[in-house]
Amino acid sequence: MQSVQRLVTAFLILFAFSAEAQDAKMKTFIDALMKKMTLEEKIGQLNLPGSGDIVTGQAKSSDIGKKIREGKVGGLFNIKGVEKIRDVQRVAVEESRMKIPLLFGMDVIHGYQTTFPIPLGLSCSWDMNAIEQSARIAATEASADGICWTFSPMVDIARDARWGRIAEGSGEDPYLGSAIAQAMVRGYQGNDLTKNNTIMACVKHYAMYGAAEAGRDYNTTDMSRLRMFNEYLPPYKAAVDAGAGSIMASFNEVDGIPATGSKFLMTDVLRRQWGFKGFVVTDYTGINEMIDHGMGDLQQVSALALKAGINMDMVGEGFLTTLTKSLKEGKITLKEIDDACRLILEAKYKLGLFDDPYKYCDVQRSKTDVYTDANRRTARRIAAESFVLLKNNNSILPLKKTGTIALIGPLADSKANMPGTWSVATDLSKAVAVKPAMENAVGANANILYAKGSSFEADPELEKRGTMFGRELQPDSRSNAELLAEALQVANQADVIVATLGEASEMSGESSSRTNIEIPQVQKDLLGALLKTGKPVVLVLFTGRPLALAWEQKNVPAILNVWFGGSEAGDAIADVLFGDVNPSGKLTTSFPQNVGQVPIYYAHKNTGRPLGEGKWFEKFRSNYLDVSNDPLYPFGYGLSYTTFSYSDVKLSSASLKGNQTLTASVTVTNTGKRDGKETVQLYIRDLVGSITRPVKELKGFQKISLKAGESRTVTFSITPNDLKFYNGDLKYDWEPGEFSIMIGASSRDVKSANVNWVK
């Protein structure tokens, strides 16, 4: 009898902590709360106004303050500073009738004050622990400064270098993109959202925003369901599976309907197929923009969004100003408003804001936990991992810390251009520029001479567009001819030239599409002149997108692509240039030979007229007259200061059945003289399918460290799960047959073995 009682007690305790019990408790709490709310207060929770006019002490008197008191605001975003946030939260919980706390969101995209590489750069580390850690540090700092919700991760697959926002995502591949999406969500949310150092993730931009036609931002997206499900949707789903608390609708249309009004995306796929339990917010004025899309007036489009499954309206106030009328006119139902309101309240509940609305407002923590030495050290280490060595003839790199080094280029001494696009919370004036970092690294052992060399762009209007939000260079009244003359004079005195060129940090990112994806001509002229001196030249390339570098690849002996490395970029660049860190980044996006090749990606289909292996042009084959089909640098590519060799691929069996596991292995050897890291990549090709299949798809990767001379066997376990895809009926399954298993150092450089797999 006693043991039965004990069992019952144990069961009750277990139940009390179970997810079901927690959900039931939350439901009871929110039911009770919503019973007391007026219709206007419920609609108020769906409102996320812009917060531009909030400054400390003003919240009460501003228009926003009035709305907060009236219960017409669910949250605010991009307010920086714990005191300001505390002040505004106080208005909500002390002066509004329902005393419901606000959500405070921010674009914490690649770090808070300590910033990490732009996401495209971060992805090139292929290091999931580092990526998770970057998000963890971002969450710790943001939460210490009042923020509980970040508009990240951005998981849009992008295959068109013209699109500026390719900088904000993880590149072209759904498998890698999914792994990174999950690492980011884990980093932000941890395993307990009620802690005061975790924040809620918001996966964006759902969906297919990265496939904008012609790479022009906000442009139309149109694609088959097969491509959607197999190539573009997986990272959003992966983030949802990892428990992301919220998701942001994208600006673009999909299948003729703006994502913000798409019931297919917001309800059928997100909620019904994927079982998403969090809330959906629009992007900035996403509802209002449906008027320009041609979907009706504000009342119509607001109703469309609500009915599609949107829960929160960012900035536009379409919900706030029209939903009551739509309800009266029978165009929407009270249940639709209640459902949306409940999801917003649930998010606040999950974050623990009802228990303590000030839990992220610990002024002390904002002083001790933000931009710490430890965080900056980690950011420096991770930045160095994101750099990709594209070329290194005659081992020019690493540089010696002796002699005279000419450091030349508009990015050599610019703090403001180091953190990269979307670094809202960082202090640009504290970022580490390349020049002081290199000086610091060499001390008295070498002489570093500096010249700016050129502006970013010859045309001042273009320069202005690429340097918005404080990213301009120090004012310099000299002409480009004068800057060039000075650069040559400096270069002529040096043993080696380090040219820091490329994009200014706002030449990529939102609303920064380009049709010319080369280094701006004025900087290319500078580079050409530097090469003519006959001295060895190292190009340290800053960019937020793949650039067309055919000329540079042909003419410059060494190229180190450093993206925008974050607040500690300068030190990280010095670490790699001088060989204190051996570069190990590998591209997550193909670099085209020229802009005419885009969109370009390794996981393309074969076509019925594929070009022969190693061929450039054959009449009546799928190719171009003027360039080969190959990218300049393929997905997965990146050099090291050491070299690696790969053995043939060994399979555990050449034929398998059903749910068996295949192991595929290679032995990788560090054949050079330095210790190094290598990312070993596994690709699979399904040779015959009921629909056409890509020529290869990434299905695994392992980043390993090898000492000089060391060998290691790297093994991948492959199950039928890795062979699954959405077929013509959009059913996710695998098909028996022949598969090519490829392992190698990049998508271009693989060895393969075939396997037959039956059901």
Contact positions vs ligand BGC (CB under 6 A): 78, 107, 151, 204, 283-284, 510
- Copy the structure tokens of residue 632: 């300049």
User: Do 388 and 572 touch, CB atoms closer than 8 A?
Assistant: no
Q: Which amino acid is at 332?
A: I
Residue 545 CB, nearest approach to ligand BGC (Å): 17
- CB nearer to ligand BGC: give 53 or 710: 53
Sign (positive or negative) of CA dihedral 530, 532, 534, 537: positive
* E strand spans, 10-129: 47-48, 75-77, 103-106
Task: Fill in the DSSP letter of residue 426.
Answer: S
- Copy the structure tokens of residue 694: 């890509």
- CB nearer to ligand BGC: give 151 or 633: 151
For residues 391 and 541, give the distance between their C-alpha atoms in angstroms, rounded to a whole number. Answer: 11
- In terms of Cα–Cα distance, which of 408, 403, 401 is closest to 440? 401
- CB nearer to ligand BGC: give 104 or 151: 151
For residues 602 and 184, give the distance between their C-alpha atoms in angstroms, rounded to a whole number. Answer: 24
Residue 315 CB, nearest approach to ligand BGC (Å): 8
For residues 167 and 428, give the distance between their C-alpha atoms in angstroms, rounded to a whole number. Answer: 19
User: Do 739 and 755 touch, CB atoms closer than 8 A?
Assistant: yes
User: Do 78 and 314 touch, CB atoms closer than 8 A?
Assistant: no
For residues 677 and 745, give the distance between their C-alpha atoms in angstroms, rounded to a whole number. Answer: 11
Residue 356 CB, nearest approach to ligand BGC (Å): 26
- CB nearer to ligand BGC: give 156 or 369: 156
Residue 290 CB, nearest approach to ligand BGC (Å): 15
- In terms of Cα–Cα distance, which of 687, 685, 684 is closest to 701? 684
- CB nearer to ligand BGC: give 33 or 142: 142
Contacts of 550 (CB under 8 A, 6+ apart): 593, 594, 632
Contacts of 698 (CB under 8 A, 6+ apart): 173, 175, 176, 603, 636, 681, 682, 683, 747
Helices 434-442 and 569-577 pack at an angle, to 10 degrees, of 50
Closest residue to bound ligand BGC by CB: 151
H or E segment to which residue 646 belongs: strand 644-646
Residue 117, CA distances (Å) to 28, 152, 675, 757 in order: 43, 14, 24, 41
For residues 283 and 263, give the distance between their C-alpha atoms in angstroms, rounded to a whole number. Answer: 16
- CB nearer to ligand BGC: give 181 or 397: 181
- CB nearer to ligand BGC: give 48 or 577: 48
Tokens 């918005």 belong to residue? 468
- In terms of Cα–Cα distance, which of 452, 215, 202 is closest to 344? 202
- CB nearer to ligand BGC: give 279 or 591: 279
The DSSP result for 101-132, as a single string, is PPEEEE---SBSSSB---HHHHHTT--HHHHH
Residue 314, phi-psi category: left (phi > 0), alpha (psi -120 to 50), beta (remainder):
beta
- CB nearer to ligand BGC: give 106 or 483: 106
Residue 450 CB, nearest approach to ligand BGC (Å): 36
Residue 405, CA distances (Å) to 493, 494, 535, 548, 578 in order: 9, 5, 11, 27, 12
Residue 206 CB, nearest approach to ligand BGC (Å): 11
Counting Cα atoms < 13 Å in the Cβ hemisphere of 752 gives 19
Residue 152 CB, nearest approach to ligand BGC (Å): 8
Residue 484 CB, nearest approach to ligand BGC (Å): 38
Residue 270, phi-psi category: left (phi > 0), alpha (psi -120 to 50), beta (remainder):
alpha
For residues 77 and 314, give the distance between their C-alpha atoms in angstroms, rounded to a whole number. Answer: 9
Residue 201 CB, nearest approach to ligand BGC (Å): 12
Residue 240 CB, nearest approach to ligand BGC (Å): 18
The helix/strand/coil state of 390 is: strand
- CB nearer to ligand BGC: give 187 or 570: 187
Residues belonging to the active site: 283
